[in-house]
Structure 1
Amino acid sequence: MSAVKSRGRGRRTINEINMVPFIDVMLVLLIIFMVTAPLITPSMIALPSVGKAPSQPAKPIQLLIDKEEKIQITEPGGKPVSVVMADVGSTVKRLQPAVPQGEQASPVVISADKSIKYETVVKVMDALQRAGVLRVGLSVQTGS
């Protein structure tokens, strides 16, 4: 029983953290930074020069295929023009403005009625590819 009694009278536990060593370390670090800060030479930064702003993206040429599989091409800001399947590629190529070397021509967006066969859309895309039109996209309707 005496061992149990002496155990209770032992060292008391400390409920808080001793902050003095932490403060000592922080003050030493502060002194080191204050001494070394004036010794650091400022480096020169190479700033970018002002260049030519990128051009606005070209507005797309709209290609609409309706229920009767009639094809209408609308250039940006223009009226729709009806064309036959054989002339799709040449008409789009004519409507695309001449672009300088390194820039891309205006894109073509195909919008088709949901009731037409997908084969018709593929034929139009094939005609555009044969004419050398590189940027072709499909317009889709999201939702139910």
Structure 2
Amino acid sequence: MHGPFHRGGGKKPMGEINVVPFIDVMLVLLVIFMITAPMLTQGVQVDLPQVSSEPLDNDNDNDPIIISVDSEGSYYVTLGEDTTAVSLDEMSERVVAILGRQPNTPVMVRGDRNVQYGQIVVLMSTLQRSGVANVGLLSEPPQDG
């Protein structure tokens, strides 16, 4: 007996989702990110000193303020993705402004290994006068070989 609700041909409705197009899109995105990730170098080229030390725990959700000093002695302020070349006075003003909005933001110094020690001391003294209580120094782990 064939009524209006009878299905002919014995085909059952498919209850599964076809994920093949999703996998194709994800593989294309993976390839794109693998190609573009090495090109996303940010910041200032600084040859950091190499020392063996333990990384610090960052309990803070804010991006750190990174003050970089390159081999020529120029200062750069980095917050998140934004890097700006500044003078020592401008750096102080910028740090004060950022800490006024986000007081718990950590401050880190990246100094090139060829920069004179006195210039790093002047930078840290300027940061202290700007109200920065703790300053971290960035380094790289030693290269084994």
**Offset at residue 136 of structure 1 (A):** 1.2
Q: What is residue 117 of structure 1 aligned with on the other side?
A: 116
Name stretches of at least 5 consecutive residues in structure 1 with no aligned partner: 1-54
Aligned residue for 2:85, secondary structure, equals strand
Q: What is residue 141 of structure 2 aligned with on the other side?
A: 142
- Is 1:59 the equivalent of 2:63? yes
Q: Structure 2: how far apart are the matches of 1:87 and 1:56?
A: 25
**Offset at residue 130 of structure 1 (A):** 0.3
Q: Structure 2: how far apart are the matches of 1:86 and 1:79?
A: 19
Root-mean-square deviation (CA, aligned residues, Å) is 1.9
- Is 1:68 the equivalent of 2:69? no
Q: Structure 2: how far apart are the matches of 1:70 and 1:56?
A: 28
Kept in 2, the 8 Å contact 1:97–1:106? The answer is no
Aligned residue pairs total 85
**What is the aligned-residue identity percentage?**
25
Q: Structure 2: how far apart are the matches of 1:66 and 1:117?
A: 11
**Offset at residue 135 of structure 1 (A):** 2.8
**Offset at residue 140 of structure 1 (A):** 1.2
Counterpart among 68, 82, 85 of residue 79 in structure 1: 82
TM-score in terms of structure 1 length: 0.53
- Is 1:93 the equivalent of 2:100? no
Kept in 2, the 8 Å contact 1:63–1:111? The answer is yes
Aligned residue for 2:94, secondary structure, equals helix
Q: Structure 2: how far apart are the matches of 1:83 and 1:65?
A: 10
Q: What is residue 26 of structure 2 aligned with on the other side?
A: none
User: 1:121/1:56 Cα in 2 relative to 1: closer, same or farther (>3 Å)?
Assistant: closer
User: What is the one-letter code of the residue matched to 2:64?
Assistant: P
Q: Structure 2: how far apart are the matches of 1:94 and 1:139?
A: 22
Name stretches of at least 5 consecutive residues in structure 2 with no aligned partner: 1-58
Q: Which runs of 4+ in 1 moved over 6 A?
A: none
**Offset at residue 87 of structure 1 (A):** 2.5
TM-score in terms of structure 2 length: 0.53
User: 1:130/1:56 Cα in 2 relative to 1: closer, same or farther (>3 Å)?
Assistant: closer
- Is 1:105 the equivalent of 2:109? no
Q: Structure 2: how far apart are the matches of 1:56 and 1:136?
A: 14
Q: What is residue 13 of structure 1 aligned with on the other side?
A: none
User: 1:95/1:69 Cα in 2 relative to 1: closer, same or farther (>3 Å)?
Assistant: same
